[in-house]
Structure 1
Amino acid sequence: MNTHTEIKSSALVADKDWWRGAVIYQIYPRSYQDSTGDGIGDLRGITRRLPHIASLGVDAIWISPFFKSPMKDFGYDVSDYCDVDPMFGTLADFDALIARAHDLGLRVMIDQVLSHSSDQHAWFKESRASRDNPKADWYVWADPNPDGTPPNNWLSIFGGSAWQWDTRREQYYMHNFLTSQPDLNFHCADVQDALLDTVRFWLDRGVDGFRLDTINFYIHDKELRNNPALPPEDRDDSIAPRVNPYNHQLHLYSKNQPENLAFLERFRALLDEYPAAAAVGEVGDAQRGLEIMGEYTAGDDRVHMCYSFEFLSGDTPTADRVVSVLNKVDEAAPDGWACWAFSNHDVVRHATRWSLNEDAQRAFATLLMCLRGSACLYQGEELGLEEAEVGFEELQDPYGIEFWPEFKGRDGCRTPMVWEKSNSFGGFSDNTPWLPVAPKHLKHSVAEQENDSAALLHHYRRAIALRHAHRALSKGVMSGLKASGDIVAFQRSEAGEEIFCAFNLSNNTAEVTLPTGTWETVGGELSQTVPQTGTVELGPWHVALARRIKT
């Protein structure tokens, strides 16, 4: 095996701080590797491809839901929290995946969807059966208004009212997402206990942590007060598409409730019973995302890290915007910890969203590895995949079907991974995949890039290696943050090491002045040569990385 793809196999050390500065690789299991020929990715397929992930040098994988599910929202509607859907394999397959990942030095994080279940879950079936059964209050039920309308004005992210009428109880139940995804009632202590039991189930099987879906949606306002209207000038489409009326409300009462902090403390206490378990929360809020990140990661008794949607939005991250976001994080979460991502399974791939050429993708990949916080990479990001075009007749995502054509849904970022280009399925499957492989993706396949030393895949490996080679970049503090025209610059420092980082986020040449002192270039091919003092002329999308020389 070539040196750039050598895999470090080692027993994982029980380091409670491993997550701080970690690089986490997200896997969407339906689209990673099919091992059975049914056109749908599965756990054995992931296990087969773990050496590729390990060769990147990442610290952990995050696997999107693989639990039993009717798949109305492709696994984010869970019907059994403690079993694998046969589509993806078995519990034995998952155990084998964990063992192989650990052998390769990879930790395993899984997606926990705690805010809601499927309407096919046994809990909901019992809850909807009557108003006085043992699980009657396990979901959010409410009587109609006198005129039969829903109890308040709350809206679903997937369109329409957040309330669905149920004829069995003659009440409405709440759903922040699909009508088939009823919200669990976290005001019920038994619900919290049951959910924490499912978390323990996976910890006992050896998982190293969790990605918490919609972490700020867990608890609703007990009084069911109406959400206030949001003025048009304050609307933001980073959480829901512009055409969705969800953007017309300030979601003051349907989520983000203060009682959530107490549950997160219970969750963290459970994780702390294990040697090195960690969690990252997804904060879905356009107005208060960074503030909530600060609240949820403050101290050492809540979640370890969170990400919000500042760099998952369509707003191009100019130098000024990058600095603005990072400054807001410092203000909102001074003792918290961010987890940065540019792409994931819910948004248009950032190469397309920000109209990036390959040089720009390289610059942003290096920037991500130099930011204070942890980092998530989404499968195919290391290949530079652009958003795929999926026709309406091939669409699977209910979100896209609802708001087509102004919003095309999430299928364009969920198409299968491309491993080689020998056939139209990209090495993902021997048969027609559940979503089409984009023909333009084939030339970016793993096999093609492995054989090209100048390919983006190798750049990602170098950028991740840089982060791990310098503790200042993975765990250090950030200082001197500023934007000068198209250049973002800052220093990272830890344990006596100081790294200067400058990024030209434009197609123009620009100059940046080094801080006082004497400097030496680091990062090899990632950086332009940096003089010991003075100024650096950065070419378009070029980067300067330098370490202070101690005198």
Structure 2
Amino acid sequence: MAKAWWRGAVIYQIYPRSFMDANGDGVGDLPGILTRLDYLASLNVDALWISPFFKSPMKDFGYDVEDYCDVDPLFGTLADFDVLLNAAHARGLRIIIDQVLSHTADSHPWFVESRASRDNPMADWYVWAEARPDGTPPNNWLSVFGGSAWQWDSRRRQYYLHNFLTSQPDLNYHHPEVQRAILASVEFWLKRGVDGFRFDACNYHFHDRKLRDNKPALHADTTTVSAVNPYGMQRHRYDKSRPENLKFLKKLRKLLDRYGAASVGEVGDDDSLTRMAEYTSDGDMLHQAYSFNLLTEEFSAAHIRRQVEEMDAALARHDVPGWACWSIGNHDVARVASRWGKGTGGAQFAKLMQVLVTTLRGSACLYQGDELGLPEADIPYELLQDPYGKAFWPDFKGRDGCRTPMPWQQTAAAGGFTTGAPWLPVPPEHLALAVDTQDKPRASVLNFTRRFLAWRRRHPQLIEGAIDFLKAPEPILLFTRGKGRDQLLLAFNLSGTAQTLKLPKAWREVRALDGHGLTGAAVTAGMLQLQPWGGYIGALTA
């Protein structure tokens, strides 16, 4: 367990297009990340998760890979990556890279050959199927990005499967050569010294060989996709999360173990928590996984408690329980300051959320800019880049609002992100929260994050300690971490109004801990008083 650095780790996600641009072309790059490593080290995070930087036509901004073993020139070179990796390691930062293994770009050489004919060596490397007699797709499977999951190809006169964009054909994992090629691409980066992988859409690898129709969902899923998306109207039994995937994940784990590397999987499913537990338990598949369950609009103490308790219950059903990784923000959802805070909580809300997500039992992913308290940006349609947003505009505006460039300097053009024209605009409200405005003030969200994460490292209860939720009315979330006399009590007021709570008898003699930076709470005669968005951390008296 001493080597299991990932248990309870804090992982900082970098969306490279928007982090820092070193060459002035308006798009962030690997050399840009290199220039900000000291900043990243100052956050006291354990690892950096870098979203895809591989060669790609960029129709889904890197999540459509054309070459798994090369860096896209937009982001730099393999030599740039090696320099970045070594420099990060010198600062005590681990590097996790984002691998998209379920599908490729349609410009990938594998697909170019596969679609050329029905009898070439790679003809079956992707999921091809005949049309129904009336010319319609082979079944009712839907794409996450809208419409049918099948695209007609005039060269082969067949349909191919794409769970996402039509330009992202799905690989056929039933073909052993596909699995070997994918594992070889993972090993390419292991040999370069990466510390781990974030596996995108890792339950989409296999499909039902019989291509059976999905049945209607009993309740429309609005956790994985937007409520305006018909994808949530199906029970996704046959197009993903197939049992064959377990065997592949075990092969993947054996490869990772050979190099001492860790993994975190993204799991979006009808029952994501059960799937997360299945994929991470017994020590022979993924090390940890996260879902979209805390990335939705739903925000309440009851909702958060339910997700964590249901996850713990699902893990407990396995002989060797797995591990969760919690995230309340990433490159696919509206920023938490707007999604949960509705733009009204300000710095106090942002601070509370940083503590909340990093004190739940599990690891935590923090999304770039959330340490500044950035709100969601409002991108007009004419500047929209995201194909997902264009498909569902205006009811769903896509993911560009959380992908705008990092604001480094308040008064610099494009917030100091680039010397050129940024690929997405930097909104004025972000400039007011730029890094240089928060770097020195002790009360800033940025400096609070730095201090709290350093404090967290000194409290093992928050790394691997047990979690138990205590009875509390909305909007108070109350739980303990640790066991016996070595427990911490944590309380969060998830609202903009003051709250008072009578503490459980066992905690009437609680003493407040200091050094963590949380404010807005006090205990008097067993009564916990929480100011708007206030938080409290205490321990039992000696």
TM-score of the aligned structures, taking structure 1 as reference length: 0.94
CA contact (8 A) 1:521 1:547 kept: yes
Aligned: 1:490 with 2:472: no
Among 12, 16, 34, which residue is 1:25 paired with? 12
Among 302, 305, 329, which residue is 1:343 paired with? 329
CA contact (8 A) 1:520 1:530 kept: no
Provide the rounded CA distance (Å) in 2 between the counterparts of 1:36 and 1:472.
44
Q: 1:530 Cα shift?
A: 5.5
Corresponding residue of 1:312: 295
Among 283, 299, 302, which residue is 2:267 paired with? 283
- Read off the aligned partner of 2:363 and give its amino acid letter: S
Matches within 5 A, 1:259-408: 259-275=244-260, 277-285=261-269, 287-316=270-299, 318-334=300-316, 335-354=321-340, 355=342, 356-358=344-346, 359-408=348-397
Among 111, 116, 129, which residue is 1:142 paired with? 129
3-state SS of paired residue (1:216): coil
Unaligned runs of 5+ in 2: none
Provide the rounded CA distance (Å) in 2 between the counterparts of 1:412 and 1:474.
32
Corresponding residue of 1:244: 229
Q: How many residue pairs end up in the alignment?
A: 532
Q: 1:373 Cα shift?
A: 0.4
Provide the rounded CA distance (Å) in 2 between the counterparts of 1:512 and 1:198.
56
Q: 1:360 Cα shift?
A: 2.2
CA contact (8 A) 2:485 2:540 kept: no
Corresponding residue of 2:500: 510
Aligned: 1:217 with 2:204: yes
Q: 1:536 Cα shift?
A: 2.0
CA contact (8 A) 1:23 1:58 kept: yes
- Read off the aligned partner of 1:29 and give its amino acid letter: P
Provide the rounded CA distance (Å) in 2 between the counterparts of 1:179 and 1:544.
49
- Read off the aligned partner of 1:548 and give its amino acid letter: L
Corresponding residue of 1:6: none
Q: 1:528 Cα shift?
A: 5.7
- What per-residue deviation string (whole Å, max 9, x for no partner) do you get for residues 425-462 of structure 1? 00000111011111110010000001321111112122
CA contact (8 A) 2:217 2:235 kept: yes
Corresponding residue of 2:59: 72
Provide the rounded CA distance (Å) in 1 between the counterparts of 2:358 and 2:153.
49
CA contact (8 A) 1:528 1:545 kept: no
Corresponding residue of 2:454: 465
Among 99, 114, 119, which residue is 1:112 paired with? 99
CA contact (8 A) 1:42 1:88 kept: yes
Of 214-223 and 90-99, the range deviating more from structure 2: 214-223
Of 238-247 and 439-448, the range deviating more from structure 2: 238-247
CA contact (8 A) 2:41 2:93 kept: yes
Provide the rounded CA distance (Å) in 2 between the counterparts of 1:264 and 1:44.
33
Provide the rounded CA distance (Å) in 1 between the counterparts of 2:220 and 2:292.
14
CA 1:300–1:495: 2 relative to 1, 3 Å: farther
Corresponding residue of 2:445: 456
Corresponding residue of 1:11: none
- What per-residue deviation string (whole Å, max 9, x for no partner) do you get for residues 237-269 of structure 1? 222222222122111111111111111111111
CA contact (8 A) 1:519 1:530 kept: no
Provide the rounded CA distance (Å) in 2 between the counterparts of 1:483 and 1:331.
20
- What per-residue deviation string (whole Å, max 9, x for no partner) do you get for residues 117-148 of structure 1? 00111111111111121111110011111111
Q: 1:480 Cα shift?
A: 4.0
Provide the rounded CA distance (Å) in 2 between the counterparts of 1:248 and 1:332.
24
3-state SS of paired residue (2:453): helix
Among 515, 524, 543, which residue is 2:535 paired with? 543
CA contact (8 A) 2:101 2:200 kept: yes
- What per-residue deviation string (whole Å, max 9, x for no partner) do you get for residues 296-340 of structure 1? 011110101111111100112x11212111221122222221111
- Read off the aligned partner of 1:189 and give its amino acid letter: P
CA contact (8 A) 2:55 2:65 kept: yes
CA 1:122–1:523: 2 relative to 1, 3 Å: farther
- What per-residue deviation string (whole Å, max 9, x for no partner) do you get for residues 176-207 of structure 1? 01111000011111111110111100011010
- Identical residues among aligned pairs (%): 54
Provide the rounded CA distance (Å) in 1 between the counterparts of 2:493 and 2:166.
46
- What per-residue deviation string (whole Å, max 9, x for no partner) do you get for residues 494-516 of structure 1? 69731111112122222241552
Corresponding residue of 2:518: 526
TM-score of the aligned structures, taking structure 2 as reference length: 0.95
Aligned: 1:194 with 2:181: yes
Provide the rounded CA distance (Å) in 2 between the counterparts of 1:132 and 1:483.
64
Matches within 5 A, 1:435-446: 435-446=424-435
- Read off the aligned partner of 2:234 and give its amino acid letter: Q
Q: 1:482 Cα shift?
A: 3.5
Q: 1:527 Cα shift?
A: 4.9
Q: 1:396 Cα shift?
A: 0.6
- Read off the aligned partner of 2:227 and give its amino acid letter: R
3-state SS of paired residue (2:259): coil
Corresponding residue of 1:43: 30
Corresponding residue of 1:170: 157
Provide the rounded CA distance (Å) in 2 between the counterparts of 1:90 and 1:482.
53
Corresponding residue of 1:413: 402
- Read off the aligned partner of 1:472 and give its amino acid letter: Q
3-state SS of paired residue (1:260): helix
Of 454-463 and 295-304, the range deviating more from structure 2: 454-463
- What per-residue deviation string (whole Å, max 9, x for no partner) do you get for residues 280-301 of structure 1? 101112x211110111011110
Corresponding residue of 1:255: 240
Matches within 5 A, 1:93-108: 93-108=80-95
- What per-residue deviation string (whole Å, max 9, x for no partner) do you get for residues 73-107 of structure 1? 00000000000000000000000000110011000
CA contact (8 A) 1:323 1:481 kept: no
Q: 1:463 Cα shift?
A: 2.3
CA contact (8 A) 1:362 1:459 kept: yes
3-state SS of paired residue (2:482): strand
CA 1:502–1:420: 2 relative to 1, 3 Å: same
Q: 1:230 Cα shift?
A: 2.1
Q: 1:531 Cα shift?
A: 5.3
- What per-residue deviation string (whole Å, max 9, x for no partner) do you get for residues 159-190 of structure 1? 11101111121111100011110000111111
CA 1:212–1:168: 2 relative to 1, 3 Å: same
